[in-house]
Amino acid sequence: MSEKGSPQAILTSFLTCISRIRKRGAREMNFPGLQKMSRMLLLLFLCTSVLPIAGCWDRKEINDVLLVSAVGIDKKNDKIEISIQIVVPKATGGGQQSISGGGGGGGGGVNPTFVNSATGITIADAIAKLQEQISRKIFWGQMKVLIFGEELAKEGIREHVDYLARHPQSRLRLHVFVSKGKAADILEVLPPLEKSSAESARELALSQFGLNKTMKELLQMLKGEAGAAALPRIEEVPPTTGGEKDHTTVRLNGTAVFKKDKMVGYVNDELTRGILWLRNEIKRATVTIEPSETKGRVSLELIRAKTELIPQIEHGTWKMTLKAVAEDDVVQNATNLDMLNPSVLKMLQKEAKKDLENRVYLALKKVQKGMKADIFGFAEAFHRKYPKQWAAAKDRWDQIFPNVEVKVDATVYIHRPGVSTESPALPKNEVQQ
């Protein structure tokens, strides 16, 4: 908006003027034309008033705005390096995109995203420096992914989270990851399938094979009584055939465990499933079991799962029971078992139950005993059921937690055998009856 006079003052006088004319026109009925004229004036005024109200001083044209799809934060010596993944608007035509940076867009095709980085002492400082390098105004409203570099995560993330939780454009539904290595490297990946590596990361998180944590949940965990947090860990997957960066993809692999706001360790993919069971966040999983009675393996796919943490305090010992119910389907049968035989199914259910419990115990061993970080929500569960005892013991939780006795009580139902009964690729006489 160019005119910086006081539009309001003009407006006020204008309105009074119009109403005066209208009143006079109404009073003196021999001037009907005047009333008509004032109506026209009003209409004209209303139409023109639309022009300056398109956002006042904060008006932003789409071609002056730079859309950030993801942000990565790394440690660089004793400073912060912030990298943003920028969406290149294709509609503006490929030829004009000469500013492409880290992504390295060569030749005729323009990469859908590129990465720009800057260093500073805080995020705000780094972002200010970043803005200096970029011709367009950075817009954070479309940002969907935040990645912390591993090194930075080990030093603590609280102060950096603050900027993103405070910025009016950023959203609490921001998917948060911890990268293996540098966060900027993940942003630079140009996956063949999705628009950007951020988009693939987000889709992967949503598929819920691993953890799926948004900014809101991260803040809740950081603020929570347990004093621990867990974030999904993301890493690059180099192309299998050996190629360029644009055939690289990303994948979620395991969980980064935080105590307070500092990363203390890493749990691999298999144990992550145990963590998911404990947090009641498991949605999809494929379990392969080896029945002891026969050769070969059976794979089950999880359809529905529900878990519940039941806390218990008995004579001063804190106990926790995990009640888990899983409903599975058979997806592969590499044994000679007949999947329509109830006793076979019963046996499989028992095996699957054992597998599930085992997985949870392994995760517990590593996280509860090893890292001593309560990322399972035990603190909350105890607080809810035993508010009084909790209030007394809350300050000692760090000592209590590793000694909480956990029992896992799982039930697995196998509902359907898929569309074949016994393995259709197996000669009839080899099927075990």
Nearer to other proteins (CB atom), residue 58 or residue 132: 58
Which residues are near other proteins by CB under 8 A? 7-8, 11-12, 15-16, 19, 53, 55-58, 141, 168, 171-173, 216, 219-220, 223-224, 380, 383-385, 387, 391
Residues 377, 307: contact at Cβ < 8 Å?
no
Q: Give min distance, CB of 8 to other proteins, in A.
A: 4
Nearer to other proteins (CB atom), residue 16 or residue 92: 16
Nearer to other proteins (CB atom), residue 172 or residue 237: 172
Q: What is the rounded CA–CA span in Å between residue 49 and residue 119?
A: 44
Taking the CA atoms of the chain, what radius of gyration do you get in angstroms? 30
Dihedral Cα 131, 133, 139, 140, nearest 10 deg: -70
Q: What is the rounded CA–CA span in Å between residue 242 and residue 379?
A: 47
How many of the other CB atoms lie within 10 Å of CB of 321?
14
Q: What is the rounded CA–CA span in Å between residue 407 and residue 311?
A: 10
Nearer to other proteins (CB atom), residue 142 or residue 288: 142
Run of H or E residues at 4: none
Nearer to other proteins (CB atom), residue 25 or residue 103: 25
Nearer to other proteins (CB atom), residue 15 or residue 44: 15
Residues 328, 414: contact at Cβ < 8 Å?
yes
Nearer to other proteins (CB atom), residue 224 or residue 291: 224
Q: Give min distance, CB of 128 to other proteins, in A.
A: 15
Q: What is the rounded CA–CA span in Å between residue 306 and residue 330?
A: 19
Q: Give min distance, CB of 164 to other proteins, in A.
A: 13
How many residues are recorded in the chain? Answer: 433
Q: Give min distance, CB of 321 to other proteins, in A.
A: 17
**β-bridge partners, 409:** 323
Q: Give min distance, CB of 422 to other proteins, in A.
A: 40
Q: What is the DSSP string of 373-392?
A: ---SSHHHHHHHH-HHHHHH
Amino acid at 118: A
Q: Could you give phi then psi for residue 80, rounded to 5 degrees?
A: -110, 135
Q: Give min distance, CB of 122 to other proteins, in A.
A: 19
Residues 234, 153: contact at Cβ < 8 Å?
no
Residues 196, 139: contact at Cβ < 8 Å?
no
Q: Give min distance, CB of 385 to other proteins, in A.
A: 8
Q: Give min distance, CB of 200 to other proteins, in A.
A: 14
Q: What are 76's two structure tokens?
A: 């660089």
Q: Give min distance, CB of 240 to other proteins, in A.
A: 29
Q: Give min distance, CB of 51 to other proteins, in A.
A: 14
Nearer to other proteins (CB atom), residue 329 or residue 380: 380
Q: Give min distance, CB of 55 to other proteins, in A.
A: 7
Nearer to other proteins (CB atom), residue 9 or residue 419: 9
Q: Could you give phi then psi for residue 244, rounded to 5 degrees?
A: -90, 180
DSSP state, residue 428: G
Nearer to other proteins (CB atom), residue 141 or residue 418: 141
Phi-psi region of 358 (alpha: psi -120 to 50; beta: other; left: phi over 0): alpha
Q: What is the rounded CA–CA span in Å between residue 309 and residue 322?
A: 5
Nearer to other proteins (CB atom), residue 33 or residue 57: 57
Run of H or E residues at 321: strand 317-333
Q: What is the rounded CA–CA span in Å between residue 74 and residue 79?
A: 9
Q: Are strands 228-237 and 249-259 parallel, antiparallel or unpaired?
A: antiparallel
